[in-house]
Amino acid sequence: MQPTAYENILVEFPAARVGLVRLNRPRAYNALNGPLMQELMDALTALDSDDEIGCLVLTGSDKAFAAGADIAEMAEATPVELAQMNFIHRWERLREIKKPVIAAVSGYALGGGCELALACDMIIASETAVFGQPEINLGVIPGAGGTQRLTRALGKALAMEMVLNDRRLSAGEAVQFGLVNRVAPVESYLQEAIDLAAAIAARAPVAVRAAKDAINMAFETSLAAGLAYERNHFYALFSTEDQKEGMAAFLGKRSPAWTGR
């Protein structure tokens, strides 16, 4: 895929089959205004439909992943104006991305920034990462999944404290409570995320997408329905060339060569 010119993000290809999107509004701590969100979702969608990409990484700067939605943009908005700005639909588009998305988070991940990281599939954090939902200080509550995803990830007690009283989590707490996969020094957290993405991107692509979809279904449904969903994906994968190749390679004691078909 050719790099596209964006104003608020950067798209890079740091490893084989890995697409990296950097939020790039440094003067506003990567506050997520409408144009940035539009570009972000366009870029993620383009990478998602590119067969040469197997896994995505989303990052900000070392100082700030993102300090939330753009308060200046929202401050005077009416509910109708928020709807007209396509505000909600832009955020919903992240749920449609089928390839794994790894957030590489350093510095502030506040409000919508925290929610954006939570909406990704995995999080690699730097030692300086701070996760918080400070919307209560603005007279509102999280609106992009914070009350739901934090509660599922951390349990009710801590989610309540974070959302009702702006309790922030350090990187160490975030890994202790299972919010992030691991913590790395500022110098290497992004490379760790890229390495993880490259490892996943080298695996059987159809199975990787099916695995993401099945795990996400665990948050949407009962156990019985989720187990049935998983089983259907399992059976369906036997229609892929990669299943035949993977099992033949194992039995032939060689490495598989995935085609993504």
Q: Which residues are tagged catalytic?
A: 69, 112, 115, 135
Binding span for ligand DAK by CB under 6 A among 45-53, 64-72, 173-181, 224-232: 64-72
Tell me the closest approach of the beta carbon of residue 174 to ligand DAK, in angstroms: 17
Torsion of Cα atoms, 5 then 10 then 13 then 17, to 10°: -100
Buried-state track 65-86, b at ≥16 Cβ within 10 A, e below 16: bbbbbbeebbeeeeeeeeeebe
Handedness of CA 134, 193, 198, 217 (dihedral sign): negative
Of 135, 162, 180, 211, the one binding ligand DAK (CB under 6 A) is 135
Binding span for ligand DAK by CB under 6 A among 69-77, 156-164, 182-190, 238-246: 69-77
Binding span for ligand DAK by CB under 6 A among 85-93, 118-126, 170-178, 226-234: 85-93
Tell me the closest approach of the beta carbon of residue 187 to ligand DAK, in angstroms: 21
Report the residue number, 110 or 118, with the smaller CB distance to ligand DAK: 110
- Compute how many residues bind ligand DAK; rule: CB under 6 A: 21
Inter-axis angle of helices 112-119 and 146-154, to 10 degrees? 60
| Backbone angles phi and psi of 130, in degrees to 5 | -130, 125
Tell me the closest approach of the beta carbon of residue 100 to ligand DAK, in angstroms: 22
Site string for ligand DAK, 167-206 (x = CB under 6 A): ----------------------------------------
Tell me the closest approach of the beta carbon of residue 164 to ligand DAK, in angstroms: 15
Of 71, 158, 198, 217, the one binding ligand DAK (CB under 6 A) is 71
How many beta carbons lie within 10 A of that of residue 124, not counting itself?
29
Number of H helices, E strands in the chain: 12, 10
Of 111, 120, 121, 193, the one binding ligand DAK (CB under 6 A) is 111
Handedness of CA 198, 203, 208, 209 (dihedral sign): positive
Decide if 69 contacts 91 (C-beta within 8 A).
Answer: no
β-bridge partners, 102: 57, 122
> How far apart are the C-alpha atoms of 227 and 26, rounded to whole Å?
44
Binding span for ligand DAK by CB under 6 A among 54-62, 121-129, 137-145, 247-255: 137-145
Of 18, 110, 118, 210, the one binding ligand DAK (CB under 6 A) is 110
How many beta carbons lie within 10 A of that of residue 7, not counting itself?
9
The verdict on 144 binding ligand DAK (CB under 6 A) reads: yes
Nearest to 21, CA basis, from 55, 56, 69: 56
Report the residue number, 3 or 139, with the smaller CB distance to ligand DAK: 139
- Tell me which residues touch ligand DAK (CB under 6 A): 28-29, 31, 67-72, 87-88, 91, 108, 110-112, 134-135, 138, 143-144
